[in-house]
Amino acid sequence: METLKEKKTEAKKPTSKKISGAEAIIHCLLAEGVDLIYGYPGGAIMPVYDELYKFQDKLTHILTRHEQGATHAAQGYARVSGRVGVAIATSGPGATNLVTGLADAQIDSTPMVCITGQVPRHLLGSDAFQETDIIGISTPVTKWNHQITKASEIPEVMAKAFYIAKSGRPGPVLIDITKNAQFDELDFVYEKCTGVRSYNPVPKPDMKAIEAAAELINIAKKPYIVWGQGIILGQAEKELTALIEKAGIPAAWTIMGESAIPTSHPLNVGMVGMHGNYGPNVLTNECDLLLAIGMRFDDRVTGSLDTYAKQAKVVHFEIDPAEINKNVTADVAVLGDSKETLALLLPLINENNHEAWHNEFKKKYQIEFDQVIKNDIHPTKEGLTMGEVIEEINIASKNKAVIVTDVGQHQMVACRYAKFEDSKSNITSGGLGTMGFALPAAIGAKMGAMDREVVAIIGDGGYQMTIQELGVIFQHQVPVKIVVLNNDHLGMVRQWQELFFERRYASTVMTNPDFVKIAEGYHIEAKRVSERKDLKATIQEMIASDKPYFLEVKVEKEDNVFPMIPSGASVSDIRLK
């Protein structure tokens, strides 16, 4: 006789049905809550696209104009929504075109699953048409990858892919699926992955380390926090705010951590790094305690490691053990998820204000304002500056916009001067520095947060690397706002040539097309501004529009970004001019 216990066990078993591998992939995506993917079809992935056609009511596919655009769009979607971005491509060149986006997502810890088609199993290794070893190619730039050659492998591998992509320190995963596995049938059963042997994505907090960190904070006279994207990924914005307010600690951010705390917060002292604020950089070498939270001591943040914060005790809060002592030796390492570890730390912290120490940051800010900021956002010269454009966008959007930047001078200016009230508002290519990132990433960001204003800030160089993605904006009427700051140069490279290569402008001058006409060719409303008298009204018109909008702003050709720490120099050697 069947027992009640056996009945309950039976009821919990997932039901199975016989379907093709291609259909199984779609069911896996739906089971993971995916409703939007970006991609480009081709022969080796065609069975999956045939199934996508049948599931259009449940799963939206956005045809990008290039596979790289698919990865950046998936990144933008993931960074704003907090969900896993998904991109899909065929074999060979389709797969290799994903590599830049994979590398970008890997170094910036963006959760993404990429699916590629592959030649049939029996042709692997034969140099068949459009066969490329994408597993070998992508291994260094993915958190995990795997090739599926049998249909029966699909459910387990797909579940594992999503788990790895979003757990712990997030990152990109690539799944390569042979064509025979897409056609063959399997008994489909799907169970979400909840763990992988030997993979410990979130280290258990060590209370002794947390207590040691609290002791250092409580005795410090000049404590200083530098936070990174780990705060945003860990959803620890409230915990970080509570810490800095309770202990009265000045706090600065890396560009990947920007927007976790409102720009207006009185203890938010600005940006660190090569083009960061004067005080946060210089005072790194004057603090007696440096709290690094969810950041990895990138070389663009530290400058010369030989002189970086040598006088300070260092406490490193980090989810990834590989980052501990990699660049900067920590006196105390607090492993774990930032939301959890900061919550455990808070009760152990004494209330304080460190007013005199905070005043040092205010004094340094005034120096920077008088020598740099004032001239950037309220210029007296005739030509338009990038800084004043960003300031007008702040005003028109009431500091509520998601700003998506490309890479170059405009990126550093936007990160310096954009004002944010909400987290997940600064979307940029940080670690890889990928030109061409912004336009497709802005498309993904808007689709991930349709209720938010999304403004892409792009240079004339990077814009032309993925300009074809205007087709996606036109076809789907994605209401993103595109601002191209055009100085007719590859501006950041030109700045280095001016400062360090005696103004030898080798291959940095650009003869650009009529960007307004190109946008109009895609039926996108477009305008050009070259005079200050037209700037404010045009930006207000752009922000007020509920449709896609393109704005080209002609800015100064030789307008440099300062402050600046020369490559390899100490953070104390930051230049104001």
* Catalytic site residue from 17, 58, 129, 310: 129
* Catalytic site residue from 46, 55, 130, 369: 130
C-alpha–C-alpha distance, residues 66 and 464, integer Å: 13
C-alpha–C-alpha distance, residues 394 and 369, integer Å: 18
Is 179 noted as a catalytic residue in this protein?
yes
* Contacts of 444 by beta carbon, 8 Å cutoff, 6+ apart: 38, 72, 73, 74, 75, 76, 77, 78, 80, 85
C-alpha–C-alpha distance, residues 100 and 89, integer Å: 14
Is 229 noted as a catalytic residue in this protein?
no
Separation in Å, CA 495 to CA 409, 410, 417, 504: 9, 12, 19, 10
- Residue 526 and residue 551 in contact, taking contact as beta carbons nearer than 8 Å: yes
* Catalytic site residue from 492, 495, 497, 542: 492
C-alpha–C-alpha distance, residues 459 and 464, integer Å: 9
* Catalytic site residue from 143, 160, 166, 179: 179
**What is the CB neighbour count within 10 angstroms for residue 527?**
16
Nearest to 110 by CA among 233, 220, 218: 233
Is 67 noted as a catalytic residue in this protein?
yes
Separation in Å, CA 442 to CA 75, 139, 425: 9, 27, 11
C-alpha–C-alpha distance, residues 346 and 337, integer Å: 14
Encoding tokens for residue 492?
């950041």
Nearest to 151 by CA among 175, 124, 178: 178
- Residue 338 and residue 319 in contact, taking contact as beta carbons nearer than 8 Å: yes
C-alpha–C-alpha distance, residues 346 and 65, integer Å: 48
**What is the CB neighbour count within 10 angstroms for residue 496?**
15
* Contacts of 517 by beta carbon, 8 Å cutoff, 6+ apart: 526
* Catalytic site residue from 32, 67, 318, 453: 67
- Residue 437 and residue 72 in contact, taking contact as beta carbons nearer than 8 Å: yes
**What are the residue numbers of the active site?**
67, 129-130, 179, 492
